[in-house]
Structure 1
Amino acid sequence: MGTPATSVPAQADLSPQQAGEADAARRRRIVGIALMCGAVAFFASLDACGKSLARAGVDPLVTTFMRYAASVAMISVFVNPVRTPSVVRSRRLGLQVLRSLLLFASTALNFMALRYLQMAETISIQFAAPLTVALLAGPLLGEWSSRARLGAIGVGFLGVLVIVQPGVGAMHPAALLSLANVVVYAFYAIVTRKLAAYDSTATTMFYTGLAGVALMAPLLPWIWTSPTQWSHWALMLAVALFGTLGHWLLVLAHARAPANVLAPFIYTQLLWSVTLGFLLFGDLPGRWTIAGAMIVIGSGLYLLAQDTMRRKA
């Protein structure tokens, strides 16, 4: 049977102004998707630099400190109390400090795990973070999940078990660092959502790396080892640059396209991680990593589809 003509919107039925607005919206979405893909490519590059530094013997805490110290310096050029005095005024300063510390801890855990695990393994496990957010959103935000969503979350966590394979002799202890990172990042995401109701984006950006840098600065004399090669300094600068550019592109992407349109393209980071892992370190993910990643990604996409349908209902 043919599709009724009334079910398909015709471009000719739109006024020139409406047609122009529809075309502009489509172009914005395409640009937003491209920016999202660029952002995750930068994040994968950040991981590659962090792994290179860890393998070269640079303490992951030093790398994390340099990543956020340089990021704070770069952000302060554009967002600072001199240009915008109100940027330092937070209605929930405690939450801002907690968010900054959680992000610092998440990055440090990731760099520690990358010393031993493949990039594809760490990012596949980290894809479980949205599942953890959905699970914690009930008790912490009052956003309770349906039985179908809880089932999808459970399936996603089974995918993580496929990746790490606990109890079968294949699990590397560093996988526990990635699992801890998932939990820490989930709390970071929930705190970020709570702060959106109180503080501006500029204020949150200003505090993003501040608490972690302030906490680590007094400890540097005990953990600092000056890199002996200029390439190590270049990699630490690249870590900060890729992180800052990635978050900048992320903001630009969300300004041009809805979150539900952009979210599926986050998973393209796995392709970048596999590619960079092979080119730089000769790593190829095993079949269990790929299988587990597909399960986790499938669960995440299902939750995303459920959220989209719920908003349209």
Structure 2
Amino acid sequence: MTTSTPVRPALAFAVAAIGIFVFACMDAVMKGLVIALGVYTTMIWRTFAGVAISGTLYAATRAPWPSRAAMRLHLIRGAVTVVMALTFFWGLARVPMAQAIALAFIAPVIALFLAALILKERVPRGSVIACVLAAIGVGLILTGQARAELGPEALKGTIAILFSALCYAFNIVLMRAQALVAGPVEVAFWQSLIVFACLVPAAPWFAHVPDAAHWPVIVLAAVFATVSLLLLGWAYQHGSASYLAPTEYTSFVWAAILGWIVFAETLSSWTVAGAALIVGGCVVAARGKPSPVPQVEIAS
């Protein structure tokens, strides 16, 4: 099991929030790629590039082979990530970025209680208040989005994103458990490698080689994904899942901004009001007193 030097909870919260921002940038890049190339081709080549980037970093650390407990978590999280990512990016290509992220906000709420159930963490009062405020904000956003004409594919995209959110709730808890037994670079490499290994068997039927113009964008998406994994891995190594989960809500703000800049997706007054509540919830969570960071032993 890894040990870590205690850091200020606010620092872990800030690093997690930055990780979410980088992840939102990756989502924007991936949305454009999925529209152009399809979800499977985009995923497999982005993951391939991610293996190369994170593998170089991992080799430089000269880290030993992962423990049995760590490898078990790497395999479980990698498998969950495949399902989560494929369904999310497929849905993201069919609905506005802000709405996709808003729908995915059920994940941190579920993760709070999964963390209590699986990791035996105490759920801080501030995190509960944050989730309530954020849930109200999401309700406002969805009310506004319900009035928009999103096309016949929107319902399918919505269902896919909701299913992905259920997977992501479990992924948040796994991220915390994983951070207790492995460092951020190890986590980033093994997740990329396992996801790639899960995707490869279907390559002869579903993958194609992208045009040269798409490769710089694919590499950019891989860089964003790797940096986000490193930042979130470090944050969850130094903070409890129930305390850090509300940082997920900041992704809506970035999704709304990036959707507007990159894809000309407009913001309604409902969206702005919902975002205000989401940000307010994150402020409450960041100022609250977190529960002690438990040293959880993962059964092998």
Residue by residue over 1:169-192, the C-alpha shift from the partner in whole angstroms, topping out at 9 and shown as x without a partner, is 768322232222222112112122
**What displacement does 1:168 show?**
6.0
What is the identity, as a one-letter code, of the residue corresponding to 2:213? S
Counterparts of 1:89-128 in structure 2, within 5 Å, are 89-128=67-106
Contact 1:41 1:269 in 2 (8 A): yes
Match of 1:209 among 188, 192, 207: 192
Residue by residue over 1:6-35, the C-alpha shift from the partner in whole angstroms, topping out at 9 and shown as x without a partner, is xxxxxxxxxxxxxxxxxxx99xx99x95x7
Match of 2:264 among 275, 282, 303: 282
Which has the larger Rg? 1
Counterparts of 1:128-147 in structure 2, within 5 Å, are 128-145=106-123
SS of residue paired to 1:143: coil
What is the identity, as a one-letter code, of the residue corresponding to 1:182? A
Which residue of the partner structure matches residue 183 of structure 1?
166
Structure 2 regions of 5+ residues with no counterpart?
Answer: 1-6, 293-300
Contact 2:183 2:233 in 1 (8 A): no
Match of 2:277 among 295, 303, 311: 295
SS of residue paired to 1:91: helix
Structure 1 regions of 5+ residues with no counterpart?
Answer: 1-24
Contact 2:26 2:221 in 1 (8 A): yes
Partners of 2:62 and 2:126 in 1: CA distance: 49
**What displacement does 1:272 show?**
3.5
Task: Give the number of equivalent residue pairs.
Answer: 280
Match of 1:42 among 3, 17, 22: 22
Which residue of the partner structure matches residue 71 of structure 1?
50
CA RMSD in angstroms, aligned pairs only:
4.1
Contact 1:131 1:300 in 2 (8 A): no
Residues 251 and 233 (structure 1), Cα distance of their counterparts in 2 relative to 1, 3 Å cut: same
Which residue of the partner structure matches residue 41 of structure 2?
62
Residue by residue over 1:208-241, the C-alpha shift from the partner in whole angstroms, topping out at 9 and shown as x without a partner, is 12222111101011111333x4332332222112
Residue by residue over 1:253-294, the C-alpha shift from the partner in whole angstroms, topping out at 9 and shown as x without a partner, is 889x97899988765544443332222211112333333343
**What displacement does 1:76 show?**
1.2
**What displacement does 1:244 show?**
1.8
SS of residue paired to 1:87: coil
Counterparts of 1:208-287 in structure 2, within 5 Å, are 208-227=191-210, 229-249=211-231, 269-287=251-269
Partners of 2:224 and 2:91 in 1: CA distance: 19
What is the identity, as a one-letter code, of the residue corresponding to 2:181? Y
**What displacement does 1:248 show?**
3.9
**What displacement does 1:149 show?**
5.9
Partners of 1:264 and 1:290 in 2: CA distance: 18
Which residue of the partner structure matches residue 6 of structure 1?
none
